[in-house]
Amino acid sequence: MQPFSLGNARTGVVDTATHSYQFHLLQPASPAPREGWPALFLLDADGCFATAVEALRRMARRPDATAVTDMVIVGLVPVGGHAPAMRQRDFTTPRSDDDSTSGGAADFLRFLRSDMLPMIDRLASIDMRRLTLFGHSLAGYFALWSLFQEDSPFDRVCAASPSIWWDQDHLLARLPHLAGRESHIDIMMGEWEGDLPPWQAREPDADRVRARRAERDMIGTARALYARMAAHLPPGHCCFRLLPEEDHASLVSAAMPRALRLASRP
């Protein structure tokens, strides 16, 4: 009996002075088009790379029905696994109330642009004009933040349950940077991120969880940020989706087909 594997997928490690990341890479079996493949980059990929690969395989069979085409998928995972401390470092911007364990977003973006992207392009031939970044939760905050950086290679972002609460004022202050851009942004939240699913509402700590969610108001802040971002972009370039019967933890799987569709856009 053969072990389960994801065909045409490979794994490697990229090291720099500041970062050490494992990457998973899926590329189509057919030759790349002249301009290269569109590419979807997944942060926190230990929880979503296989999901994305299987969704792509099913949906790309019928691009006429799904609007999903073949592409390169790149998943990034900190060496050693899903480490909360590394996420706190890499996906956040500095705040006055934080210590040195956070605020490394600029360094991480530099790593993606200068180290990761050139290596992936050598391995898989990607279209640098069609790069999509997918992030969930704190990685979703980073994905949105990256849009406002002049040196970001990503002009398409899928932010699932973005942790805008980390520094909403920072994002709002940089909104003018979107003016005149052709960026595509998809912000997704789960219906039950505003309250609790029925089964969780019966748990002993339900009131505590409900209070934390009310304080952060993730749906409200995401909807408000979407409206202000959309005002700076062409019609249809910024979308907000509230996915029914999804929670913060379950949203990733439901969001993935939409991320693939965004990455497939011409």
Please give the full DSSP string across 7-23, using - where no structure is assigned.
TTEEEEEEE-SS-EEEE
Under the banding of pLDDT at 50, 70 and 90, the label for residue 27 is very high
Whether the CB-CB separation of 156 and 146 falls below 8 Å is answered with: no
**pTM, entire model:** 0.94
pLDDT at 2 over 70: no
Measured from the Cβ of residue 252, the count of other Cβ atoms closer than 10 Å reads 23
Whether the CB-CB separation of 125 and 32 falls below 8 Å is answered with: yes
Give pLDDT, residue 98. 65
| 48 or 7, greater pLDDT | 48
Largest CA distance in the chain: 58
| Tokens found for residue 148 | 């406002």
2: CB partners within 8 A, 6+ apart: none
Whether the CB-CB separation of 236 and 174 falls below 8 Å is answered with: no
Under the banding of pLDDT at 50, 70 and 90, the label for residue 16 is confident
Give pLDDT, residue 171. 93
| 56-71 per-position pLDDT tens digit | 999 999 999 999 999 9
Measured from the Cβ of residue 10, the count of other Cβ atoms closer than 10 Å reads 12
On average, the pLDDT of the chain sits at 92
Whether the CB-CB separation of 74 and 135 falls below 8 Å is answered with: no
pLDDT (average), residues 7-25: 87
Which residues are bridge partners to 238 per DSSP? Answer: 185
Under the banding of pLDDT at 50, 70 and 90, the label for residue 99 is low
Under the banding of pLDDT at 50, 70 and 90, the label for residue 18 is confident
| Tokens found for residue 238 | 């910024």
AA identity, residue 219: I
| 50 or 100, greater pLDDT | 50
Measured from the Cβ of residue 17, the count of other Cβ atoms closer than 10 Å reads 7
| 186-221 per-position pLDDT tens digit | 999 999 998 888 888 899 999 998 898 888 899 999
Give pLDDT, residue 73. 98
DSSP string, 172-215: HHTGGGGTT---EEEEEEEGGGSS--TTGGGSTTHHHHHHHHHH
Give pLDDT, residue 86. 86
pLDDT at 55 over 80: yes
Whether the CB-CB separation of 44 and 2 falls below 8 Å is answered with: no
pLDDT (average), residues 83-100: 82
pLDDT at 183 over 70: yes
| Tokens found for residue 111 | 């790593």
Handedness of CA 124, 11, 73, 103 (dihedral sign): negative
| 85 or 50, greater pLDDT | 50
AA identity, residue 48: C
| 139-164 per-position pLDDT tens digit | 999 999 999 998 899 999 999 999 99
The secondary element (H helix, E strand) that includes residue 50 is helix 49-59
